[in-house]
């Protein structure tokens, strides 16, 4: 398909300073809506929280991610689709390749994403050598929530800032095709964006990245258990759906629905 977003187009967007827009999606219905306007759909392991009702992303499995990604790729023509490697699926390079190959073969996805900095460079290099396109995910890493005892902003002091920049450079050197940077002060994201030649997509990282990503259920108001400061809510989806369903219940209880308009 001609207008399909490719890695080359994403790279060009960085050079031409056109912002890249990424959103998460976990199913065919929403993917087909988002496909009309966004550049990248991330099938994020955040689905483990908003869709599966878990407290964090750590119990998401390869089977679960493949199921959801297949639904997304079925209904996307134009958008670049990114597969989030779940916790424990890339602990060594052989395991990472086996799982990333599954993602490529079973879902038709365009690239995979994994969390980590220079400690993951060897894995990124190995995947890249084996024709898998890899997005790195640095800064706040949601899969580290238990080992770190919570979510916290990264890059608060110069040591942490240097560390994040070194991670970005090491991942680019290892062959990463793009980076996601999460939960950092804007000056850190600015430096990272200007230190590498690959696109840098921010979430909770200020305005200076090459693009932005948000979790769809947060920005459309369907998930209110935890609402970070960086989420702009574009729709009060939970309330709209709740009100519509209440109206349906009222209509059924009162015998208003189905009237003759809805009857054969
Ligand atoms: O899983 C996810 O949705 C993500 C985003 C927070 C970038 O990794």
Q: Cα(134) to centroid of ligand 1, in Å? A: 15
The rounded Å distance from CA 203 to ligand 1 centre is: 9
182 is catalytic: yes
| Under 8 Å between Cβ of 12 and 185 | no
For 151-170, give one letter per residue: b (16+ CB within 10 A) or e.
Answer: bebbbeeeebbebbbebbbb
Ligand 1 atom at shortest distance from the alpha carbon of 115:
8
Give the predicted TM-score (pTM) of the model. Answer: 0.97
Mean pLDDT calculated for residue range 104-116: 98
> Angle 62-74/93-107 helices, nearest 10 degrees?
30
| 215 CA → ligand 1 middle, Å | 7
| Ligand 1 in reach of 213 Cβ (< 6 A) | yes
Residues facing 209 on adjacent strands: none
Distance CA(215)–CA(218), nearest Å, equals 5
The share of the chain scoring above pLDDT 90, in percent, equals 96
pLDDT at 148 over 80: yes
pLDDT tens-digit map of 59-86: 999 999 999 999 999 999 999 999 999 9
pLDDT band at residue 2 using 50, 70 and 90 as cut-offs: low
Over range 11-30, report the average pLDDT.
98
In this predicted structure, what is the pLDDT of residue 1?
Answer: 54
What is the position in ligand 1's atom list of the atom closest to the CA of 203? 7
Bridge partners of 83, per DSSP, are 43, 112
Q: What is the mean pLDDT of residues 102-118?
A: 98
Nearest alpha carbon, ligand 1 atom 8: 44
> Which residue owns the Cα nearest ligand 1 atom 1?
44
């Amino acid at each position: 398909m001609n207008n399909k977003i490719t890695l080359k187009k994403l790279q060009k967007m960085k050079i031409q300073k056109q912002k890249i827009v990424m959103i998460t999606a976990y199913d065919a219905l929403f993917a087909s809506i988002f496909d009309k306007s966004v550049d990248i759909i991330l099938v994020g392991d955040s689905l483990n929280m908003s869709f599966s009702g878990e407290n964090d992303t750590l119990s998401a499995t390869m089977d679960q991610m493949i199921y959801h990604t297949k639904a997304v790729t079925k209904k996307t023509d134009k958008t670049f689709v990114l597969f989030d490697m779940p916790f424990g699926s890339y602990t060594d390079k052989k395991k990472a390749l086996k799982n990333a190959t599954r993602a490529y073969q079973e879902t038709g996805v365009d690239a995979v994403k994994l969390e980590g900095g220079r400690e993951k460079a060897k894995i990124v290099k190995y995947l890249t050598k084996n024709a898998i396109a890899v997005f790195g995910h640095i800064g706040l890493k949601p899969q580290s929530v238990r080992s770190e005892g919570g979510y916290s902003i990264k890059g608060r002091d110069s040591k942490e800032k240097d560390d994040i920049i070194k991670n970005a450079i090491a991942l680019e050197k290892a062959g990463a095709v793009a980076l996601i940077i999460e939960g950092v002060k804007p000056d850190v994201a600015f430096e990272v964006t200007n230190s590498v030649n690959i696109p840098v997509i921010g979430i909770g990282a200020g305005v200076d990245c090459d693009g932005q990503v948000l979790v769809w259920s947060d920005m459309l108001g369907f998930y209110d258990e935890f609402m970070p400061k960086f989420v702009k809510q574009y729709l009060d989806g939970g309330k709209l759906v709740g009100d519509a369903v209440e109206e349906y219940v009222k209509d059924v209880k009162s015998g208003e629905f189905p009237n003759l308009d809805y009857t054969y």
